[in-house]
Amino acid sequence: MSRLLVTGREKLSGEVNVQGAKNSALPIIAASVLTKGENVLFNCPALSDIEASSQILRYLGCNVKRFHTTMLITADGLCRNDIPDVLMRKTRSSIIFLGAVLARTGAVKLSFPGGCELGPRPIDMHLNALIQMGAEIVEKHGVIDCTAPKGLKGTKIALSFPSVGATEDIMIAASTADGTTTIINAACEPEICDLADYLNSCGAKISGAGEGVVVIDGVSSLNGTQHTIIPDRIVAATLMSAAAVTQSKITLKGIVQSHLGTVIPVLEEAGCKIRSSGGNLTISAPQKLSAIRTIRTMPYPGFPTDAQAPLMAVASVAEGTTVFVENIFENRYRHTGELSRMGAKIKTEGKVAVVEGVRSLYGAKVDAPDLRGGAALVIAALSADGVTDIGNSEYLERGYENIELMLGSLGASISKL
C-alpha cells in the first residue's frame, strides 16, 4: 500500500514530457507473442500494468529486457500456452493475450482478468469473435480453455459495440489467420491505429484502422520490429487539468493534438487558453474557471471516459454547474464520494453526475477507488487548501509513471509514502 501527500495551492510552471500510452503499449506487448526475432519498443512507460504484462511474457517463455523507456521483447522461446490466475488478475488488459497466444500455439488456457472494478466489461465479444474464427471454447470454474484444432480462419465479425479490447484481440488473432477478417463497428481509438502500425511493421496486412471497418488479410508469419509508442492522451488530459485547477501555465511536450480533439474544447470553454505547435501544447489557465456544458463520454472520437474523472475535479472548482453523462462504464463515479470529502458538491443518479462548483476545496484523508479516480483526487488536491492524504495510490502506478515526480518537476508539492 502506498500514499500520496499533496499540499495544495502551489502554482505550476515549466515543461514536461508526456509518457507513452499505456493503452497502446499493452496490446502491442501482447501482439509481440506472434513475432519471430527481437522487438524494440520505444517510449514504453514504466507502469505496474506494463510490468504485469512483462511477467506474463516471461512465464510464457519470452525474453524481456527493459532500459529506461525502451523494452526489448523476443518471443522465439515461447514454450507455454497457459497463464496462471495470479498473473491474469493483475490487470484487466491481460485478456488481450487470449487471441495472441491462441494464434501462436493453437490453444490457450487462462482465467478471467483483474484490474479496476468499473462495472461489467464483458469478454463475450472476444470469445464470440474467436469462435467465429474457428476456436472452440470451454468455460469452467472461472477458467477459459480455448483451442483452434483447424487453425483460425478469416471471417466477417460485426461487433455489437465498438469495444477497444475486442477490436484489438481480433486484429492480433487475425493477423496470422487463414484468409481475410473484416471487423464491422470496430473501435476507432488512436491506440487501435498504433497497434495496426506496429503489426504492419511486423509484416501484417491491416487496413482501415481508425475507421469503423478494419480489414486484416492473414499472413503466414510476423517478424520483430522497432516501434515507438504514441503519447498518452489521458496523461496529457490529466496534466492539462492540473494546470487548470492551479491557475497555471505549463507546456506538454510530445503530444498529438488530434488525439485531444474533444478535451481541448472543454478546457477552453472553462476559460483556458491553449495553443499547440510541433508536438508541444501550452495551456494557460484563468484565475477563475467557468462551468462546462454537459460532458458525455463516448467511444472515440467522443469524449474519453478515462478523462471524465480528472475533468470532474476541474468542474468541482469552476464557477457554475457542470453535468456529466457517463455512457461507457457503470461504476465510473466511485471518486465522487471522495471528492465530496474534500468539499466538492456532486450529486449522482445512474449515468448522470451534477457538479456544482465551489469556491475552494480543502485537504482531507481520502482513498483512490481506481486509476482515474485516483487521478481526480490528485487534481483536486492540487487546488485544495491544506494537505490531502491520498491512500491506495498504487492504483495510479497502473497508468501514471511516477506521478509525484512528474508533477513535482512542475512545482507541485507532492510526495509518495
pLDDT per residue of the chain (417 residues) written in tens, 0 to 9: 899 999 999 999 999 999 999 999 999 999 999 999 999 999 999 999 999 999 999 999 999 999 999 999 999 999 999 999 999 988 878 899 999 999 999 999 998 775 444 444 468 899 999 999 999 999 888 889 999 999 999 999 999 999 999 999 999 999 999 999 999 999 999 999 999 999 999 999 999 999 999 999 999 999 999 999 999 999 999 999 999 999 999 999 999 999 999 999 999 999 999 999 999 999 999 999 999 989 999 999 999 999 999 999 999 999 999 999 999 988 889 999 999 999 999 999 999 999 999 999 999 999 999 999 999 999 999 999 999 999 999 999 999 999 999 999 999 999 999
Q: Check the annotation: does 22 bind a ligand.
A: yes
**CATH architecture observed for domain 4-19+231-416:** Alpha-beta prism (3.65)
Strand order in the sheet with 213-217: 156-158, 180-184, 213-217, 205-207
CA nearest to 398, candidates 34, 27, 48: 48
Q: Given this model, what pLDDT does residue 331 score?
A: 82
CATH number of the 22-228 domain: 3.65.10.10
Q: Per DSSP, what are the bridge partners of residue 5?
A: 389, 415
Q: Check the annotation: does 385 bind a ligand.
A: no
* Active-site annotation, residues: 116
DSSP 147-165: E-TT--B--EEE-SS--HH
Q: Given this model, what pLDDT does residue 91 score?
A: 81
Spatial contact of 172 and 27, defined as CB atoms under 8 Å apart: yes
Q: Check the annotation: does 150 bind a ligand.
A: no
3-state SS of the chain: helix, strand, coil percent to 5? 35, 30, 35
Q: Check the annotation: does 63 bind a ligand.
A: no
The model's pTM: 0.96
Q: Check the annotation: does 128 bind a ligand.
A: no
Spatial contact of 403 and 381, defined as CB atoms under 8 Å apart: no
Ranges of CATH 3.65.10.10 domains, the chain: 4-19+231-416, 22-228
